[in-house]
């Protein structure tokens, strides 16, 4: 296994993906024709491996860690090098991704569509519905909405008065 896939075996990755998409352990066991105990043990091992991978990627990228949640597949931190918040995410399909908050001029960037597509793939892997027409949203705003959903935290754009 590679770091980008969180060091998971294909079976661990499949079980973790089903669990993060809302399936209960007993239903995962039935679906995969294994025992519930096998599912539980696989999830424990997968979460440890994902935690290790998220932290290793943060260390490699010199990200100071604030929060790690292996069950939801994210690490939140701060990059002193880039002087900005940073996220490291894991999904079974996209593997490990590193994200840095920035307020760049997305409209003039050559990677606008690539960034948007990657963010939308991340949202899809997590079964997140963001907005109806994402083709007009700049990747920096799309990322902000996605990371609020991933972390479950609110910010100045999502708080209700």
pLDDT of residue 120: 87
| Stretch among 25-34, 38-47, 106-115, 123-132 having the lowest mean pLDDT | 123-132
Contact 99, 117 (CB under 8 A): no
Task: Please give the residue that has the higher pLDDT: either 131 or 79.
Answer: 79
Name the pTM for this structure: 0.86
Q: Model confidence at 13, in pLDDT bands (50, 70, 90)?
A: very high
CA 43 to chain centre: 17
Task: Please give the residue that has the higher pLDDT: either 160 or 75.
Answer: 75
Domain ranges of the chain: 3-151
Nearest to 99 by CA among 91, 107, 110, 131: 91
Task: Give the percent of the chain with pLDDT over 70.
Answer: 91
Averaged confidence pLDDT in the chain: 87
pLDDT of residue 27: 97
pLDDT of residue 132: 61
| Dist. CA 77–CA 66, nearest whole Å | 5
CA 8 to chain centre: 15
Mean pLDDT of the 13-29 span: 94
pLDDT of residue 131: 62
Contact 62, 81 (CB under 8 A): yes
pLDDT of residue 144: 86
pLDDT digit string, tens, across residues 137-150? 888 888 888 888 88
């Amino acid at each position: 296994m590679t770091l980008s896939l969180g060091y998971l075996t294909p079976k661990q990755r499949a079980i973790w993906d089903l669990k993060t998409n809302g399936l209960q352990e007993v239903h995962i066991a039935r679906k995969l024709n294994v025992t519930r105990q096998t599912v539980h043990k696989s999830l424990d091992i997968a979460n440890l491996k994902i935690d290790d991978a998220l932290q290793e990627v943060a260390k490699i990228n010199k990200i100071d860690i604030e929060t790690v949640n292996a069950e939801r597949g994210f690490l939140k931190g701060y990059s002193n090098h880039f002087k900005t918040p940073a996220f490291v995410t894991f999904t079974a399909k996209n593997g490990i991704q590193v994200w840095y908050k920035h307020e760049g001029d997305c409209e003039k960037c050559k990677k606008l569509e690539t960034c948007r597509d990657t963010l939308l793939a991340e949202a899809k892997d997590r079964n997140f519905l963001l907005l109806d027409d994402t083709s007009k949203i700049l990747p920096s705003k799309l990322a902000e909405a996605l990371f609020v959903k991933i972390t479950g935290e609110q910010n100045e754009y999502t708080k209700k008065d």
